[in-house]
Amino acid sequence: MASPPPVTSRDITALLLAGGQGTRMGRADKGLQPFRGVPLALHALRRLRRQSLPPAAVMISANRHLADYAAFGAPVWPDAVPGHAGPLAGFLAALEHCQTPLLLTLPCDVPHFPLSLCERLAQALCEQTADIAMAAALGGDEPGAARLRTQPVFCLLRATLRDSLAGFMQAGGRKVDAWAAQHRRVIVPFDAPSDDPRAFANANTLEELRRLERAENQSPFTIPPCPTPPPSPPRP
């Protein structure tokens, strides 16, 4: 049987999840909090442009301050399901507008996500003919303990799963892992020696966000700031 064609940039739309309530951050809008002087959401959008396999299009999932997010230059979609139903509500809203065969999902509060994220998920999805490729990274619940743990909101999924997700949420489902387990899923480890151990560290509180900033200044994996793109020409 012939191998499936490789995934290309034009096959992928990225969804940046910024629709949470920010409960542990004093209900601040997390995606608009500054990281190295740049809003977290904008920092993530710039990092998406630097992917080794950059998505052809980007969308933002947000439920507050929609105009502020739209100013970053990407379409903004509120949840398709009311009541702050979690990341899957953002997934569903994006799938209703996605124009590519694949959707890459990631949260706005993980400033060091791998620059190879999209490429490695796409390669695994293609090689395993899976429906969903999900990242996994080393983490531990106790000091000195480490095990490979899935990162459910970091995934690449087929846009044809929209009806499946809509049915799952209509039945009251809310957990990404529970829905993903219903489909052909491949887990993609990000635990190579060259992988940044902070890659999937997220900021649930303002102090955690500041801690990530301080750690970046001390890490051998530190990268220079993303360049600011030139301003768009005025519309005629």
Amino acid at 76: V
3-state secondary structure of 157: strand
C-alpha distances (whole Å) from 105 to each of 3, 88, 109, 120, 225 are 25, 10, 13, 14, 23
pLDDT attached to residue 225: 44
CATH 3.90.550.10 fits 9-218, yes or no: yes
The three-state secondary structure class of 61 is strand
Q: What is d(CA 115, CA 232) in angstroms, rounded to the nearest whole number?
A: 25
DSSP 159: G
User: Residue 179 is encoded by which pair of tokens?
Assistant: 């829905």
The average confidence (pLDDT) of the chain is 88
Residues 46-81: pLDDT tens digits? Answer: 999 999 999 999 999 999 999 999 999 999 999 978
Q: Can you give the pLDDT at residue 139?
A: 75
Average of pLDDT values for 25-31? 82
d(CA 157, CA 87) in angstroms, rounded, equals 14
Tokens of 16: 């940046």
Cross-strand partners of 186: 133
How far is Cα 88 from Cα 176, in angstroms, rounded to an integer? 6
The pTM of this model reads 0.88
Tell me how far apart the alpha carbons of residues 13 and 159 are, in angstroms, rounded to a whole number.
10
Statement: residue 221 has pLDDT above 90: no
134 neighbors 150 (Cβ within 8 angstroms): yes
Q: So what's the pLDDT on residue 130?
A: 97
Q: Which pLDDT does position 224 carry in this prediction?
A: 42
Q: What single DSSP character describes residue 129?
A: T
Rounded mean pLDDT of 28-52? 95
pLDDT of amino acid 93: 96
Calpha distance 76→227 (Å, rounded) = 23
pLDDT tens for each residue of 180-217 = 999 999 999 999 999 998 899 998 888 999 999 887 76
Give yes or no for a contact between 190 and 200, defined as CB atoms under 8 angstroms apart: yes
CA atoms within 13 A on the CB side of 38: 18
Write down the number of H helices and E strands in the chain: 7, 9
At 200, which amino acid appears? F
